[in-house]
């Protein structure tokens, strides 16, 4: 997405990242949930007029990728290339994700810089050689603490995330002196209470670090699909060290100092809660060891649940986003998960809930409002927006409601990452405008052909259309396609410019849509749903 002309050059970008996703399979709703959240957040900040950088990508090394490729009788690189080009990138394009970069951990711009970073730590005596034996989950690519494991009915020890048996590995590895950074991390958490969100995630990390940290194995020697350790090529760099560094390598670490300085560190790392410790413990410790600034915030979203199970391919609850967009549309998809689930908490998905919310809030409340207003301006004023003549108490209440909605949405979405509350504030305003039209009954006022009657009708319809102008601006980061359709219907571009250039924080400034704008009734924003096809 192109930057707006109001961006301030030379200032640090608002830098947001998703996790880089494993390419052992095609993306599912859980991956898309985090990526859409990041897209909405960065679009919101762009529409504030800020400089923004949004990064996503794929994690392509490690034992899990190697085994998946072998099972499909291809090389790991060929497997990664196929999945990235045929599944991951096309999905982000389909979902209208406006990322600025897509990093792949097999790219030379990444692998060279990872080797340099690790070599620097080794030269600083932050890394030493040792041995390790313990339970390892290939799905997580992580050594597990015995206390983290769950026990099956037959006594087998299972990974708590994947519910699969762990493997006992014994290797000669290189270790990062993570244990030395426990006190520094606790001091940092205390000084920066908003670093980890939500509060439950922060408490988990603080308690974990207080128990004492073990040094971290940062290499593997029993397989070769990874970045070679520069001083000992019999080892490859542990996939999580490799993966975390994407947030630095993608923005110019050791390669483009100007880009790095104006972008790094990330203001927000959006992650799933199952990778919280990597981002809130290991990553800041690595940066501290290297003398680099730590991120502004690590925000952990919950799991999407289907039938009480975390959504993933391994437990057969994975659902393709296209299964839903083909029925509800892309904009409704982008809206639904952030509207239905409080970010940071687990949430259950059901087809029935999506259908009910779509029908009630999108089709009936929002879409019907847009259609009614355009139809009435067309019927009573020939499609030319009339001027408001005298705002009364009812109009002032609408204006006050809009101001409150803008303030709440800007704070909740732009600052607090409470997407649900921000969206609800916007849709509460939509309900208020619907109520205003119901109370004012413009279809009855239209029967009064007097000058006072025509003036009153003009005020009602201008108030409704101007409210929709603001709604289009506020919903543009969330539902860009339908917001553009509404913007076009209101004839706003001719006088106000592009929708993307409208500052969200100024959306409540009343009277922006000029009288005389050509209002047209376009296609229905949210059509009635057809019955889904049954297999």
Angle (CA) 142 144 145, round 5°: 150
pLDDT recorded at residue 4: 36
Angstrom CA distances, 206 to 19, 213, 271, 272, stand at: 22, 11, 18, 18
The average confidence (pLDDT) of the chain is 92
* CA–CA gap between residue 287 and residue 289 (Å, rounded): 5
Active-site residue, 310 included: yes
Task: Return the structure tokens found at 274.
Answer: 């199952």
Report pLDDT digits (tens) over 62-97. Answer: 888 999 999 999 999 999 999 999 999 999 999 999
Count of CB atoms within 10 A of residue 188's CB? Answer: 16
* CA–CA gap between residue 279 and residue 301 (Å, rounded): 13
pLDDT recorded at residue 419: 98
Angle (CA) 334 340 341, round 5°: 100
pLDDT recorded at residue 5: 34
Given 137, 144, 235, 327, which residue is catalytic? 137
Active-site residue, 80 included: no
Report pLDDT digits (tens) over 425-477. Answer: 999 999 999 999 999 999 999 999 999 999 999 999 999 999 999 999 999 99
> Does residue 294 have a cis peptide bond before it, meaning omega lies within 30 degrees of 0?
no
* CA–CA gap between residue 221 and residue 237 (Å, rounded): 9
Q: State the chain's maximal CA–CA distance in angstroms.
A: 91
* CA–CA gap between residue 166 and residue 348 (Å, rounded): 28
Whole-model pTM above 0.85? Answer: yes
Given 51, 80, 140, 327, which residue is catalytic? 140
Given 28, 61, 64, 412, which residue is catalytic? 28
Residue count of the chain:
535
* CA–CA gap between residue 340 and residue 419 (Å, rounded): 10
Task: Return the structure tokens found at 441.
Answer: 């009954």
Q: What percent of the chain has pLDDT over 90?
A: 79
pLDDT recorded at residue 3: 36
Active-site residue, 140 included: yes
Given 273, 310, 327, 412, which residue is catalytic? 310
Give residue 446's Cα distance to chain centre.
Answer: 45
Alpha-carbon dihedral of residues 97, 103, 105, 110, nearest 10 degrees? -170
Strand 216-217 vs strand 219-220: parallel, antiparallel, or unpaired? Answer: unpaired
Active-site residue, 396 included: no
Closest to 210 measured CA to CA, from 106, 148, 281, 259 = 281
pLDDT recorded at residue 176: 97
* CA–CA gap between residue 160 and residue 151 (Å, rounded): 9
pLDDT recorded at residue 162: 63
Q: Which residues of the chain have pLDDT under 70?
A: 1-10, 139, 141-144, 147, 162, 307-318, 531-535
Alpha-carbon dihedral of residues 71, 72, 74, 75, nearest 10 degrees? -50
pLDDT recorded at residue 64: 87
Active-site residue, 61 included: no
pLDDT recorded at residue 244: 98
> To which H or E segment does residue 381 belong?
helix 368-381
Task: Return the structure tokens found at 132.
Answer: 């390790």
Task: Return the structure tokens found at 228.
Answer: 């070679």
Q: How many CA atoms lie within 13 A of 60 on its CB side?
A: 24
Active-site residue, 313 included: yes
pLDDT recorded at residue 306: 74
Phi, psi of 315 (to 5 degrees): -110, 20
| Burial of 98 from C-beta contacts in 10 A (0-12 / 13-18 / 19+) | middle
Given 82, 89, 94, 162, which residue is catalytic? 162
Active-site residue, 159 included: yes
Active-site residue, 137 included: yes
Q: What beta strand segments (E) does 366-475 contain?
A: none
Per residue, what are the HEC states of 126-191?
Answer: CEEEEEEEEEEECCCCEECCHHHCEECCCCCEECCCCCCECEEEEEEEEEECHHHHHHHHHHHHHH
Given 129, 313, 396, 444, which residue is catalytic? 313
Given 159, 273, 327, 412, which residue is catalytic? 159
Closest to 136 measured CA to CA, from 84, 181, 85, 171 = 171
């Amino acid at each position: 997405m192109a930057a707006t002309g109001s961006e301030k050059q030379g200032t640090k970008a608002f830098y947001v990242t998703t996790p880089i996703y494993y390419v052992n399979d095609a993306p599912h709703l859980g991956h898309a949930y985090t990526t859409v959240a990041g897209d909405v957040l960065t679009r919101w900040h762009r529409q504030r007029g800020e400089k923004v950088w949004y990064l996503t990508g794929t994690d392509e090394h490690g034992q899990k990728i190697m085994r998946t490729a072998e099972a499909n009788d291809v090389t790991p690189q060929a497997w990664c290339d196929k999945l990235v080009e045929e599944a991951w990138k096309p999905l982000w394009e389909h979902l209208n994700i406006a990322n600025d970069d897509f990093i792949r951990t097999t790219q030379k711009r990444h692998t060279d810089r990872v080797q340099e970073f690790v070599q620097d730590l080794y030269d600083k005596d932050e890394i030493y050689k040792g041995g390790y034996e313990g339970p390892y989950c290939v799905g997580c690519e992580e050594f597990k603490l015995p206390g983290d494991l769950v026990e099956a009915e037959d006594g087998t020890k299972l990974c708590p995330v994947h519910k699969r048996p762990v493997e006992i590995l014994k290797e000669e590895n290189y270790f990062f002196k993570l244990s030395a950074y426990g006190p520094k991390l606790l001091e940092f958490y205390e000084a920066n209470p908003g670093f980890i969100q939500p509060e439950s995630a922060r408490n988990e990390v603080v308690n974990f670090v207080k128990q004492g940290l073990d040094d971290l194995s940062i290499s593997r020697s029993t397989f070769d699909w990874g970045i070679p350790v520069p001083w000992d090529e019999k080892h490859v760099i542990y996939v999580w060290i490799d993966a975390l560094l994407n947030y630095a390598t993608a923005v110019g670490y050791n390669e483009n100092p100007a880009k790095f300085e104006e972008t790094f560190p990330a203001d927000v790392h959006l992650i799933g809660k199952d990778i919280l410790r990597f981002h809130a413990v290991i990553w800041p410790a690595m940066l501290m060891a290297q003398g680099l600034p730590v991120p502004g915030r690590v925000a952990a979203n919950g799991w999407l649940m289907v039938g009480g199970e975390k959504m993933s391919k391994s437990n057969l609850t994975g659902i393709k986003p296209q299964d839903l967009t083909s029925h509800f549309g892309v904009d409704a998809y982008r809206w639904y998960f952030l509207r239905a689930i409080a970010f940071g908490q687990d949430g259950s998905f059901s087809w029935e809930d999506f259908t009910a919310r779509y029908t009630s809030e999108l089709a009936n409340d929002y879409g019907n409002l847009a259609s009614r207003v355009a139809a009435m301006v067309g019927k009573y004023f020939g499609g030319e927006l009339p001027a408001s003549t005298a705002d009364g108490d009812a109009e002032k209440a609408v204006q006050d409601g809009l101001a409150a909605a803008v303030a709440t949405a800007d704070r909740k979405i732009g600052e607090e990452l409470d997407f649900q509350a921000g969206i609800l504030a916007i849709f509460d305003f939509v309900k208020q405008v619907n109520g205003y039209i119901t109370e004012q009954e413009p279809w009855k006022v239209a029967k009064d052909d007097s000058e006072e009657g025509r003036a009153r009708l003009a005020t009602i319809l201008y108030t409704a259309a101007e409210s929709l102008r603001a709604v289009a601006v506020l919903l543009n980061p969330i539902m860009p396609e339908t917001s553009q359709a509404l913007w076009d219907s209101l004839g706003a571009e001719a006088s106000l410019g592009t929708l993307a250039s409208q500052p969200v924080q100024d959306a409540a400034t009343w009277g922006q849509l000029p009288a005389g704008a050509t209002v047209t009734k376009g296609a229905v924003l949210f059509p009635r749903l057809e019955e889904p096809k049954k297999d």
